[in-house]
Amino acid sequence: MCFKHYTCAYCSRVKTPKKLFSPLETHIEVTHSMPPQKIEIFKSLEGWAEDNLLVHLRPVEKCWQLQDFLPDSSSEGFNEEVTELRGHSKELPNDYFVCLVGDMIAEQNLPTYQTILNTNDGVRDETAASLTPWAIWIRAWTAEENRHGDLLNKYLYLSGRVDMRQIEKTIQYLIGSGMVGFLLTDVALAVNHLVKSSRWLVREHSSPQQALAATCVLHLQDPRTENNPYLCFIYTSFQERATFISHGNTARLAKDHGVVNLAQICETIASDEKRHETGYTKVVEKLFEVDPDYTVLAFADMMRKKITMPAHLIYDGRDDNLVEHFAAVAQRLGVYTAKDYADILEFLVARWKIGELTGLSGEGNEAQDFVCTLAPKIRQLDERAQESAKEAPAISFSWIYDRTVQL
């Protein structure tokens, strides 16, 4: 499959104009890698999806809304509530706001994520109003996720701690960039190369530790799911768990600083991400049940390409290395780390019982061995990077009015 085992319908090299979007490099596009006969599998699973996937959505009337957490603009006490919020936000350090802004920007890139889901053969929403369970899930998942970025955006606006214009530019750059980016190969080799040389995608300020952190966030804006729902549902399973961890850690840090309201916001968002993770992982679990060989090949393929956090092409119009700098701060604060990446991989291997699969093809056995042994390799690289880490420099971030933060 361009995904090595099947001929892809389209493969080309693309250059993107730099003036409109964030800085990009030549990449290879691969589309429609799933064999056409596999579409029937997803059609046959529609009844299963209705009973087992849609249950992880909530009725709108039972969902939380932004106003449950924000000052009420119609209230006579609105100004006092905003003053209180701003006072609490002063307890949070600049590096925390870098991480919170990065998380918010990733959430605001939702139009791109919905687009990705709707490119997948066999599950896309063909009419924008399709009643298949796959299409219902995509629309309702998007509607639930839409609250996350909006809530964090409004909190940040009210806090007065961040440069909203620079943040808004970053969001526009990210959405306008679509899902294109860099071509990488095996994650372990890529991480090893980064740690050894600090040259490829790692700039002058990078230490081995920062380089390793960047591999967990910086990679492809193109998730390389190839219109293939096997690849896409593996990608989303990993991503939802990653965002659950990231928001959970920003909640923990807010609580440590005594900012209870923000901690509740982040915990609530994390809870949604966990519920969505459960839905996506159940889909992949079912695919392992009905088509184990192709599914394990898809899992290995995604891990060779490397799964990345959704904000991996963030750009503010100034800092070409912004995503790397953001990744380094997130790693240092423990918001999202190389260890988290390895933990997620290990969790999914156990959740889907990869080590127990039998009756696989020769290639399937190789894929099984690859994914089952990858997490320890990543941990070893993380340990080496930690041991060789040097004191990092301070870098200014436009999101926080060019105040400096240690990487």
* Residues contributing to the annotated binding site: 107, 145, 148, 240, 273, 276
The question of whether 91 is a catalytic residue gets the answer: no
Active-site residue identified among 125, 240, 340, 382: 240
User: What's the count of helices (H) and strands (E) in the chain, helices before strands?
Assistant: 15, 4
Nearest to 368 by CA among 353, 351, 347: 353
The question of whether 399 is a catalytic residue gets the answer: no
The question of whether 289 is a catalytic residue gets the answer: no
User: Which residues participate in the annotated binding site for Fe cation?
Assistant: 107, 145, 148, 240, 273, 276
The question of whether 80 is a catalytic residue gets the answer: no
Active-site residue identified among 95, 103, 107, 144: 107
The question of whether 144 is a catalytic residue gets the answer: no
Active-site residue identified among 121, 125, 222, 273: 273
Residue 335 in tokens: 């918001």
State the pairing for strand pair 403-406/10-14.
unpaired
Q: 378 near 187, Cβ under 8 Å?
A: yes
Give the C-alpha separation, 234 to 351, whole Å.
Answer: 12
Give the C-alpha separation, 257 to 139, whole Å.
Answer: 36
Give the C-alpha separation, 150 to 145, whole Å.
Answer: 9
The question of whether 148 is a catalytic residue gets the answer: yes
The question of whether 240 is a catalytic residue gets the answer: yes
Give the C-alpha separation, 115 to 179, whole Å.
Answer: 10
Q: 82 near 71, Cβ under 8 Å?
A: yes
The question of whether 346 is a catalytic residue gets the answer: no
The question of whether 257 is a catalytic residue gets the answer: no
Q: 140 near 75, Cβ under 8 Å?
A: no
Give the C-alpha separation, 97 to 77, whole Å.
Answer: 26
DSSP annotation of 37 reads: G
Q: Calculate the alpha carbon distances from 195 to 192, 199, 333 in Å.
A: 5, 9, 20
Q: Helices 94-108 and 133-159: crossing angle, nearest 10°?
A: 150
Nearest to 313 by CA among 111, 15, 21, 115: 21
Active-site residue identified among 276, 324, 337, 382: 276
**Which sequence positions are flagged as catalytic?**
64, 107, 145, 148, 240, 243, 272-273, 276
